[in-house]
Amino acid sequence: MIASISFPNRQALDNFIKEERSKAYTYPEIGATKTTKIFAHYDNDYNYIELGKGAEIWQKAKVALQNWQHFPLPWTKIYPNTRGLRKDAVVVVLFRIFGIWWRNSAKIVYAFDEPNRFGFAYGTLPGHIEMGEEVFWIERNAAGMVSYHIKAFSKPRFWLAKIGYPIARFYQRKFARESKENMKKLCLC
């Protein structure tokens, strides 16, 4: 985790990814978001919203996830957001809180593209303020209703996140709420 007052330039972000690419995940439960298990020593979060019905809504939601548009602007960004959702791709998860941009590294743990389910999970690397895993997906039921889901388990990793735990939880809830609103808005356009 690195902090800066201004948004980091492309070279700094590329260097950060290069440094983090070969590093291991910071938690032992890799891929555990595929299960329904609740982890006692983590915060466990699950959020979802119905987006609408039909093939057009499905396609819009899929494109939004593929392009990381579920991250709420202007206070969150993903770099690069054009890399694709392939296993082991490393991204920088950026958050702007209190006027400071926080750089965090994450690696895609798995991705799936099924007829009625599409999404991916990423896990934290050593350059992340938290430790854990988060999965984002859309799902289509038999009636054609499309829903968006976010499931995560996480806990503070750095001392700053531990001290600011209530603030971190506030922003995690804000992210989930605004991410759902983004997806709904993108699907209704």
pLDDT band at 83 (very low <50, low <70, confident <90, very high): low
| CA gap 25, 40 in Å, rounded | 19
Mean per-residue pLDDT, 86-107: 95
Structural domains of the chain in order of their starting residue, each with its CATH number: 2-188 (3.30.530.20)
Element (H, E) at 2: strand 2-4
Residue found by looking up tokens 């979060």 in the block: 45
121 φ, ψ (degrees, to nearest 5): -125, 145
Q: What is the pLDDT of residue 35?
A: 92
140-150 pLDDT tens trace:
999 999 999 99
| CA gap 150, 142 in Å, rounded | 21
DSSP secondary structure code for residue 34 in this structure:
G
Residue found by looking up tokens 């303020």 in the block: 129
39-82 pLDDT tens trace:
999 999 999 999 999 999 999 999 999 999 999 999 999 999 77
Mean per-residue pLDDT, 3-24: 95
Which of 7-11, 107-111, 156-160 bottoms out in mean pLDDT, i.e. has the lowest? 156-160
pLDDT band at 189 (very low <50, low <70, confident <90, very high): confident
Q: Which of 8, 42, 51 is nearest to 154 (CA)?
A: 42
Sign of CA dihedral 147, 131, 101, 120: negative
Residue 40: left if φ>0, alpha if ψ -120 to 50, beta else—which one? alpha
The pairing of strands 130-140 and 43-53 is: unpaired
106-131 pLDDT tens trace:
999 999 999 999 999 999 999 999 99
176-187 pLDDT tens trace:
999 999 999 999
The beta-strand segments (E) located in 40-163 are 43-53, 76-79, 90-97, 100-113, 117-124, 130-140, 145-156
Residue 87 clears pLDDT 70, i.e. is over it: yes
Alpha helical stretches, state H, the chain: 10-20, 55-66, 159-163, 165-188
DSSP secondary structure code for residue 132 in this structure:
E
Mean per-residue pLDDT, 166-173: 94
Mean per-residue pLDDT, 18-45: 95
Tell me the percentage of the chain whose pLDDT exceeds 90.
90
